[in-house]
Amino acid sequence: MNSRHAQPYWPEVLTDWCVIRALAASDWPEPLAAFPGAQAAFVSEVSAYLRLRALDLREAEAETRVIAAIEAIYWRAGGREYLAAKDTLEATRGGYSIAFARASDRAAGLAVELRHCERRLDDFRRPVLAEARRAGRIAAENYWNAVAACRVPEGFFANVPASGAIAHMRARFDLWWMLFLRSLRSILRETNPSYCRLLQALPALREESTRPGQKFVLGALVRDWREANAERFGLLKDIHFPVLEPRSFAKFETVNAWFDHHAPGYKRDEGVREAAVRALYDGLERVLSEPHVVRWDN
């Protein structure tokens, strides 16, 4: 595969691409057509929300569920003694961190005590470690399978900022918003934005595969990386990255071309981005101040 000059920020590329496709399927409210760059600013705002809601928050939720499932197995096996050992470890770790930061003479003794606490906790966990790992995997699979069934559920945009463009677009152009949301749901049924995590890791994995003495080829390193991160990122199945990567670079080029058409320089120039945001909010303010009802397609 030919080398690439720059590594895109894949979370932004893939979410931008999804929003652009949804916007193409739903069109753009005519009252905002006179404001150049507004579409670019809108795509960026929705894309940023997608990265927060569909990637960051879901990954945190998956991790929480996995930890809860694992801890439930440890608690069932060790009971109150396990909880006491865990509390002791946390207290000792906190004391050690403070002592170390202050260069206290107690740091060395607390380090020894910390290792003892860790071994004590491992003694509780070791007999049921395999069962705990299975429970965590099942919790992750259940969660991500539910996500895959509906990546944009009802209420997905319920917590957007009230002063933001998403909230104003949804309130003022309600029929258009329904079409846009339906299109976005359709796109995300076909596209898993979590692939961005593997794409982001690929350059480091490719470099690792070429290091002297490395016994594993790139494909094996990718499989190991995916399996190690499967529960957190929802990448539960094998990924054919030699196909995924060039297709993703094609999406990258499509996204850049779209932004250059609607707001030339948007991805490179902060001034262009600020002007596009002003155009979007100026357009919304003008529409919101009009006394008559504005249809999205009038």
Domain that includes residue 84, residue range = 10-288
Long-range pairs of 144-148 with CB within 8 A, sequence gap ≥ 24: 144/62, 144/234, 144/236, 147/58, 147/234, 148/192, 148/234
Contact partners, residue 207, CB within 8 Å, separation at least 6? none
Residue 294's pLDDT is what? 46
Residue 290's pLDDT is what? 72
Task: Identify whether 137 is part of a domain.
Answer: yes
DSSP 56-94: IHHHHHHHHHHHHHHHHHHHHHHHHHHHHHHHHHHHHHH
Residue 291's pLDDT is what? 59
- Given a contact cutoff of 8 angstroms between Cβ atoms, the answer to whether 46 and 181 are in contact is no
Over residues 175-207, the pLDDT tens digits come to 999 999 999 999 999 999 999 999 999 999 999
Measured between alpha carbons, how far is 98 from 179 in angstroms, rounded to an integer?
55
How far, in whole angstroms, is CA 126 from its chain's centroid? 32
How far, in whole angstroms, is CA 249 from its chain's centroid? 19
Closest CA to 168 of 273, 278, 287, 263: 287
Total domains, the chain: 1
Closest CA to 169 of 184, 191, 186, 150: 184
Whole-number Cα distances in Å, 138 to 9, 124, 186, 292: 31, 22, 27, 54
Residue 204's pLDDT is what? 96
Task: Identify whether 298 is part of a domain.
Answer: no
Q: Please, what is the Cα angle at 141 between 136 and 146, to 5 degrees?
A: 130
Task: Identify whether 2 is part of a domain.
Answer: no
Residue 277's pLDDT is what? 97
Residue 292's pLDDT is what? 52
pLDDT, averaged in runs of 10, over the chain (298 residues): 68 98 96 95 98 98 98 95 95 95 94 96 96 98 96 95 95 95 96 96 96 93 96 95 96 97 96 97 89 49
Task: Identify whether 138 is part of a domain.
Answer: yes
Measured between alpha carbons, how far is 190 from 112 in angstroms, rounded to an integer?
52
